[in-house]
Amino acid sequence: MTLVEGVWYFLESIKNPESLLGTASLSFAMTALWDDILHNDQLIQYVAPIAVDAALLEGVLMRTKDDPNASDVVNYAPFTLLPSVVSSSLLEQAYSVQQDFNLLVDEVSQNTAFLESTLASTIKVDDFTAQLFKIYRQVLKEGVTQTVVLGINRSDYMFDQETNSTPALKQVEINTIAASFGGLTSRTTAVHRHVLNVLGKFTEASKLLTNNPSKGIAMGIAKAWELYGSDRAVVMFLVEETQRNIFDQRCVENELWKRNIRVIRRRFKDVFEKASLGNDKRLHIDGEEVAVVYYREGYVPKSYNKQNWEARLLLERSRAVKCPDIATQLAGTKKVQQELSQPGTLEKLLPNKPEAVARIRATFTGLYSLEMDEEGDKMVAMAIADPERFVLKPQREGGGNNLYGGELKQVLEKIKDSPERTSYILMDKIRPLPALNYLLRAHSPLKISECVSELGIFGVYVRQGKDLIMNKHAGHLLRTKAVEHADGGVAAGVAVLDTPYVI
């Protein structure tokens, strides 16, 4: 069963699970489905090693912290013992809005006036965003050399649910650069299917949806490579100095090799030392012409020193297709996310698309500006008075950057009268209903945890000039973490890989 077929199968067979089960019953099912297993210690001790072996067999792997650049000793990537329950209506909603978000990100990236006005305050106080914006302006001044645009993003959601209310899909953020784990999540489903089979849950195992984001991501890269127009050119993965998550990237890479598209892996350091542009701005490195630069690096300040910023500028000035280009990376900033939630903004960016606007807006939670004005003063005071209601978010990707509770209050009290506050946005805290599960991590004790999950949908689009060549969703990623961890993803060592069990 394909992913799309599976989603529609569930929607047709359980047309409206909330109305059939009732809100309380659905909530109970979402938190208590595996109770007969979770509270059976003997069964857990038996099945957990089987699950770990299954992960190793399926290639759900990461390099170790002790030797992050070598594959001669590896271990399994952290994952849940059992799949987590997700409402079919919420999963379908997340999929149905992804193409709208693809369109929106693309429109924002093309709207210079919007990016200029939205980020005007932020670039005065946030050096990282300012450096990105400096490159953006220089490339615009020189003239963009490549009309093909490739976007690979992931829109992340949590299921907001106050007591006895129907769960609602609310967007956490959209990642427009280096959206990861499309590869490993493609292999996690088979692990959970095996675990359920071992536990005698054959019917439940058969219902797990097939999911292969790495294939969809590779399809987008392959289309951009094709439009570049040279079968001798390569795709270059721009990678970090430390490459623990290489197997996730290899899943995408191998899909390209299957299409006879050659792939090379280089770091910013390699680009600075060895890359060059010809008179026609074609990018060459180590004798290879580069058709597509796929960034799995470059989303946090620590990625850059003076040489790396020069390398980034070289890449942006080149004729190679960039994924993302600098404008698309800016479109994924938290300040842009906050501005998109303002009344009338979506309508201006997506004129004559009222259905898309409605679908997007339905996923927004409260997002608030901290500009140096009366409204910003009001929001700062409100957050200091009630810090448990909000999340304070800087212009950063990669997880582990957000501030909560006492820490949020402490930071805001320190910067409340400073323009530095405009480098943050304020967001209503999303409150999902916790469920019990076991989070399997190498060298960690086996214990039951109260957990919450985050659903990501991968989107891929390709535009050539003004023509949208491709616009699709490419699969999902479910990550789960213990409730005591407020922030952080799998790479940050907090969340673990999961599989949705759709009801």
Residue-wise pLDDT for 362-373, tens only, equals 999 999 999 999
173 is annotated as an active-site residue: yes
175 is annotated as an active-site residue: yes
What stretches of 318-468 show up as alpha helix (H) in DSSP? 326-331, 334-340, 345-349, 354-361, 374-385, 405-415
Q: Average pLDDT, stretch 46-58?
A: 98
- Residue 493 assigned to a binding site: no
pLDDT computed for residue 28 by the predictor? 56
The chain-wide mean pLDDT, for the chain, equals 91
Confidence of residue 33 (pLDDT cuts 50, 70, 90): confident
274 is annotated as an active-site residue: no
Confidence of residue 484 (pLDDT cuts 50, 70, 90): confident
- Residue 397 assigned to a binding site: yes
Q: What pLDDT digit, counting tens, does each position of 323-333 carry?
A: 999 999 999 99
63 is annotated as an active-site residue: no
Q: What are the CA-CA distances from residue 113 to residues 101, 329, 461 (Å)?
A: 20, 16, 23
Of the residues 397, 456, 459, 475, which is catalytic? 397
Q: Average pLDDT, stretch 154-161?
A: 95
Q: Average pLDDT, stretch 472-493?
A: 81
- Residue 453 assigned to a binding site: no
170 is annotated as an active-site residue: no
- Residue 395 assigned to a binding site: yes
Of the residues 223, 267, 319, 334, which is catalytic? 334
- Residue 404 assigned to a binding site: yes
The answer to pTM > 0.85 is yes
- Residue 398 assigned to a binding site: yes
Give the rounded distance of the alpha carbon of 184 from its chain centre.
Answer: 13
Q: Is the pLDDT of residue 492 over 90?
A: no
pLDDT computed for residue 4 by the predictor? 42
Q: In angstroms, rounded to a whole number, what is the distance separating the alpha carbons of residues 154 and 407?
A: 28
Q: In angstroms, rounded to a whole number, what is the distance separating the alpha carbons of residues 218 and 222?
A: 6
Q: Is the pLDDT of residue 445 over 50?
A: yes
DSSP 167: -
> How many percent of the chain have pLDDT more than 90?
86
Phi, psi of 60 (to 5 degrees): -85, 80
Q: Is the pLDDT of residue 27 over 70?
A: no
Q: Is the pLDDT of residue 489 over 80?
A: no
Q: In angstroms, rounded to a whole number, what is the distance separating the alpha carbons of residues 171 and 157?
A: 4
- Residue 402 assigned to a binding site: yes
pLDDT computed for residue 494 by the predictor? 81
pLDDT computed for residue 335 by the predictor? 94
Which contiguous run of DSSP H or E holds residue 317? helix 306-317
Q: In angstroms, rounded to a whole number, what is the distance separating the alpha carbons of residues 101 and 217?
A: 16
pLDDT computed for residue 18 by the predictor? 41
Q: Average pLDDT, stretch 333-355?
A: 96
> How many percent of the chain have pLDDT more than 70?
91
Q: Is the pLDDT of residue 11 over 50?
A: no
Exposed, middle or buried: residue 318 (CB in 10 Å: 0-12, 13-18, 19+)? buried
- Residue 427 assigned to a binding site: yes
Q: Is the pLDDT of residue 255 over 70?
A: yes
Distance between first and last Cα of the chain: 16
359 is annotated as an active-site residue: no
Of the residues 27, 153, 154, 318, which is catalytic? 154
- Residue 481 assigned to a binding site: yes
- Residue 173 assigned to a binding site: yes
Of the residues 180, 211, 318, 341, which is catalytic? 180
pLDDT computed for residue 396 by the predictor? 78
Contacts of 412 (CB under 8 A, 6+ apart): 380, 383, 384, 387, 392, 421
Q: Is the pLDDT of residue 123 over 60?
A: yes
Confidence of residue 401 (pLDDT cuts 50, 70, 90): confident
Token couple for 232: 């001798």
Q: Average pLDDT, stretch 80-105?
A: 97
- Residue 180 assigned to a binding site: yes
pLDDT computed for residue 55 by the predictor? 98
Q: In angstroms, rounded to a whole number, what is the distance separating the alpha carbons of residues 124 and 297?
A: 24
Among positive and negative, which fits the CA dihedral 324, 325, 329, 331? Answer: negative
Q: In angstroms, rounded to a whole number, what is the distance separating the alpha carbons of residues 47 and 437?
A: 13
Q: Which domains does the chain have, with CATH numbers?
A: 3-365+430-502 (no CATH), 367-429 (3.30.1490.50)
302 is annotated as an active-site residue: no
Q: Is the pLDDT of residue 44 over 90?
A: yes
Q: Average pLDDT, stretch 79-89?
A: 97
- Residue 400 assigned to a binding site: yes
